[in-house]
Chains A and B, each alone.
Chain A
């Protein structure tokens, strides 16, 4: 028990530190990659290659003046940044990030809390994040902030459904909601990584995760062209910084989830060396590295998409969420559940590469007509109603 407590506290401290440092570096990565995409160099003055830029930014934010709007609801105004910030960090607690670490007192599973209800916990905590944004918008007593908060709540609720639905497919395949079991199920071979049997679910999950984290092309809550800065218009200094950190921490969580649910978690492809006991420190370090690499790839995807795509119009956002993503996810689950039932119960296949590849084939078959339809320009309504001319 003592060992469990000590190990948990150490894990919490380490994970918290890593996430905070990672978020700081991510802000730098975002600025530098954005600059590279625009043929510039980006901030490279503070420290080698600009590595100390986040520290300089943090210092600046600490020293800036805290403003409090006269008509604001003080309690909620102060509370909102924390409410945005805390769930973003909480969600990462159930994500397994490496093979168990052997110590003289026993193996330590590399997950802060290996909850049996892991995935439900993430959905629950994920939906709490919207409170920070909505309360920030409302308590500021500023119409732009309020509109940003409203948009955010509508958007998050709309896409949360698609997000949850897409992961139902993962749970169907894993037969469990514990994330370490989900990872264990994917370790048999490269093709049992869920992205192969559940390609479309991954597609839906990614799009919904972009919307959930308020990143472009879904950053309606802070659309600066229309809403100045949306829900954080009235915030300054460290409180603003908290929203910023929350956004990036959400990105890290979403990326870690993509890696865990669809890309084998900390599994190293093409080898079974990392999957089985006896656990060694080398295995732990190698799997940690692979997991970090996967997460970084998704973070890069986030940044890459942000600096490529323009923002959706609000009605387009809603239409995409309710008329495309939701039915798509529902139909997909129905088809997939049927397929799994046929393969597993009728044909008696156990879950292995053959099973996964059969589902992969189904995904490809579904994807072709889907993308054909999306590609015909029916995805998003044009700016004028039909027959408007």
Chain B
């Protein structure tokens, strides 16, 4: 015996195939003439409808002081807090006793872009950036050294919404 399925009676207007077909054709035709939503990506990276969020956490950037030196004082907080263990820091000290990083490398493949390094940094030196175009031809190129981190120019992430203090 066939399985019984309860079929609801529908109003006549809803069972009309011709009207439904014509309605559908009119709908698709109207869509044909509507403005398109596609963004022409490489040429157009933001539009009035969409911009990348200022809280985006992308590849890192090290800020520098007026003399062009990295602001980092090699305190060691960022490798300490990093959950992915992707920051390699070897501290050095000059003759005046100022600490600076001898080696500062971030493996962007390991990084999970949590943004803790930026949050923990007392000098506001290391930041995650508002940036997403990171293609390279080899895996080695994704270990960013200090020089490369300082040379990045993209905007840095705000991490939380500035208009909402409770978020901090």
Enumerate chain A interface residues (CB-CB to B < 8 A): 33, 35-41, 304-305, 307-309, 371, 374-377, 379-380, 382, 384-385, 388-389
| Contact between A376 and B7, CB atoms less than 8 A apart | no
| Contact between B31 and A37, CB atoms less than 8 A apart | yes
- Interface SS, A side: loop
B12 at the interface (CB under 8 A from A): yes
| Contact between B16 and A38, CB atoms less than 8 A apart | no
| Known A305-B25, A385-B2; further 11 A-B contacts with Cβ < 8 A | A36-B31, A37-B28, A38-B31, A40-B38, A304-B32, A371-B18, A374-B17, A376-B15, A384-B7, A388-B2, A389-B6
Chosen A-B contacts, 19 in total, with CB atoms closer than 8 Å, are A33-B32, A35-B36, A37-B31, A39-B31, A39-B36, A39-B37, A40-B38, A41-B36, A41-B40, A304-B25, A304-B29, A307-B28, A308-B25, A308-B27, A308-B28, A375-B18, A376-B16, A388-B4, A389-B4
B137 at the interface (CB under 8 A from A): no
CA distance A37 to B37 in the complex (A): 11
| Contact between A40 and B36, CB atoms less than 8 A apart | yes
CA distance A304 to B17 in the complex (A): 17
CA distance A99 to B151 in the complex (A): 70
Distance to closest chain B CB from A310 (angstroms)? 9
CA distance A374 to B16 in the complex (A): 8
- Residues of chain B from 57 to 75 with CB closer than 8 A to chain A in the complex: none
- Interface SS, B side: helix
CA distance A389 to B40 in the complex (A): 53
Chain B, residue nearest A374 (CB): B18
CA distance A307 to B27 in the complex (A): 11
| Contact between A41 and B38, CB atoms less than 8 A apart | yes
| Contact between B31 and A380, CB atoms less than 8 A apart | no
A374 partner residues in chain B, CB cutoff 8 A: 17-18
| Contact between B37 and A377, CB atoms less than 8 A apart | no
| Contact between B37 and A388, CB atoms less than 8 A apart | no
Q: Could you say which of A33, A305, A308, A374 has the most chain B C-beta atoms within 10 Å of its C-beta?
A: A308
B148 at the interface (CB under 8 A from A): no
B12 partner residues in chain A, CB cutoff 8 A: 376-377
B17 partner residues in chain A, CB cutoff 8 A: 374-375, 377, 379-380
- Residues of chain B from 98 to 130 with CB closer than 8 A to chain A in the complex: none
The count of chain B contact residues (Cβ–Cβ below 8 Å) is 24
Chain A, residue nearest B10 (CB): A377
10 tightest A-B contacts by CB? A377-B15, A41-B38, A308-B28, A308-B24, A375-B16, A37-B28, A375-B18, A36-B32, A389-B6, A384-B5
B34 at the interface (CB under 8 A from A): yes
CA distance A260 to B3 in the complex (A): 50
B27 partner residues in chain A, CB cutoff 8 A: 308
| Contact between B16 and A377, CB atoms less than 8 A apart | yes
Distance to closest chain B CB from A198 (angstroms)? 20
B16 partner residues in chain A, CB cutoff 8 A: 375-377
Chain B, residue nearest A310 (CB): B24
B19 at the interface (CB under 8 A from A): yes
Distance to closest chain A CB from B51 (angstroms)? 20
CA distance A374 to B19 in the complex (A): 10
Chain A, residue nearest B33 (CB): A36
B7 partner residues in chain A, CB cutoff 8 A: 382, 384, 388-389
A39 partner residues in chain B, CB cutoff 8 A: 31, 34, 36-38
Q: Given that A39-B37, A376-B12, A388-B5 are contacting pairs, would A304 and B28 also be in contact in the complex, using a CB cutoff of 8 Å?
A: yes
B138 at the interface (CB under 8 A from A): no
Q: Could you say which of B16, B27, B32, B38 has the most chain A C-beta atoms within 10 Å of its C-beta?
A: B32
B135 at the interface (CB under 8 A from A): no
Chain A, residue nearest B30 (CB): A37
CA distance A37 to B32 in the complex (A): 4
Q: Could you say which of B16, B19, B25, B28 has the most chain A C-beta atoms within 10 Å of its C-beta?
A: B28
B21 at the interface (CB under 8 A from A): yes
Chain B, residue nearest A301 (CB): B25
Distance to closest chain A CB from B46 (angstroms)? 17
Distance to closest chain B CB from A323 (angstroms)? 14
A40 partner residues in chain B, CB cutoff 8 A: 36-38
